[in-house]
């Protein structure tokens, strides 16, 4: 007798669950997916940023359903955090970016670096990556995964003994302090740009003097600047 009574109860419970599930699906179809951060994907679980053309970088993909502030960062096993993107405003849409292991500048314990480290390649190791999005209402969503970096040349291309041969120069072709020279010692092969930055944010490139050491190679480099007057230009203010 009890078994006969319990059978309708079980059937009724199953029917209720099915109805609730149908309502949830209908609500989602009617109102859309309310999630902020969607379709997050990291192309590779391991990269070797050594410029050999084989998995030097990985593609990061994600979608935003509405405007948000986005951060992308990695943490090592010690919990140290390294930012690839930090609090960047992004509109709703699909996003894709290549990550080659380069993050915002950092220094290692015990390192003594002259100058500012703007960007740097991560050290070899396994990291937890996080994509974090916060919408205009303060709602935050994150997605995480792991990536391993191997065979990375993380040594910094330092510029040592940086100097100017004078503090003031007057590029007026009177033969007195018409030029200025920039010198430094470069520790490893790298692409180097030397330029004068004007008040308006314009970069005026400064040419390197031809010497025995090729441009971009380790060694001492000298750059010479005369305000452009040798080419008939007006010196910057």
Residues 77/128, Cβ–Cβ less than 8 Å: no
Q: What is the count of structural domains for the chain?
A: 3
Supply the DSSP symbol for 151. Answer: S
Residues 207 and 176 in one domain: yes
Residues 6+ apart with CB under 8 A from 184: 159, 160, 161, 162, 163, 220, 221
Where is the domain boundary, 104, 127, 149?
A: 149
Residues 127 and 219 in one domain: no
Q: DSSP readout, 18-34?
A: HHHHHHHHHHHHHH---
Residues 70 and 144 in one domain: yes
Q: Which of 161, 206, 215 is nearest to 179 (CA)?
A: 206
Burial of 6 (0-12, 13-18, 19+ CB in 10 A): exposed
Decide: pTM greater than 0.75: no
Domain range enclosing 190: 159-231
Instruction: Identify whether 236 is part of a domain.
Output: no
Residues 77 and 115 in one domain: yes
Instruction: Identify whether 154 is part of a domain.
Output: no
User: DSSP E strands: which ranges in 76-118?
Assistant: 81-90, 93-99, 102-104
Tens digit of pLDDT at every position of the chain (237 positions): 444 555 555 555 565 565 555 554 444 434 456 899 999 999 999 999 998 999 999 999 999 999 999 999 999 999 999 999 999 999 999 999 999 999 999 998 888 888 889 999 999 999 999 999 999 999 999 999 999 999 998 788 888 899 999 988 888 877 788 899 999 999 999 999 999 898 889 998 999 998 889 999 999 999 999 888 777 677 887
């Amino acid at each position: 007798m009890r078994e006969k009574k319990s059978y309708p109860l079980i059937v009724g419970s199953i029917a209720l669950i099915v109805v609730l599930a149908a309502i949830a699906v209908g609500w989602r179809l009617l109102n859309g997916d309310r999630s902020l951060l969607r379709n997050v994907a990291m192309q590779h679980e391991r990269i070797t940023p050594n410029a050999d053309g084989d998995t030097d970088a990985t593609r990061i993909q994600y979608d935003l359903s509405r405007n948000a502030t986005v951060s992308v960062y990695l943490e090592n096993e010690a919990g140290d955090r390294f930012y690839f993107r930090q609090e960047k405003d992004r509109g709703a849409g699909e996003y894709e970016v290549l990550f080659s292991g380069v993050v915002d500048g950092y220094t290692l314990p015990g390192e003594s670096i002259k100058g500012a480290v703007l960007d740097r390649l991560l050290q070899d190791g396994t990291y937890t990556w996080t994509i974090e999005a916060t919408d205009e209402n303060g709602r935050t969503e994150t997605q995480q995964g792991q990536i391993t970096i191997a065979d990375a040349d993380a040594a910094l291309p330092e510029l040592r003994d940086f100097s100017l041969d004078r503090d003031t120069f007057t590029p007026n072709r009177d033969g007195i302090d018409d030029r200025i020279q920039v010198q430094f010692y470069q520790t490893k092969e790298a692409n180097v740009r030397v330029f004068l930055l004007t008040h308006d944010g314009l970069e005026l490139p400064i040419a390197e003097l031809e010497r025995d050491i090729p441009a971009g190679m380790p060694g001492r480099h000298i750059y010479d600047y005369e305000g452009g007057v040798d080419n008939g230009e007006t010196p910057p203010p």
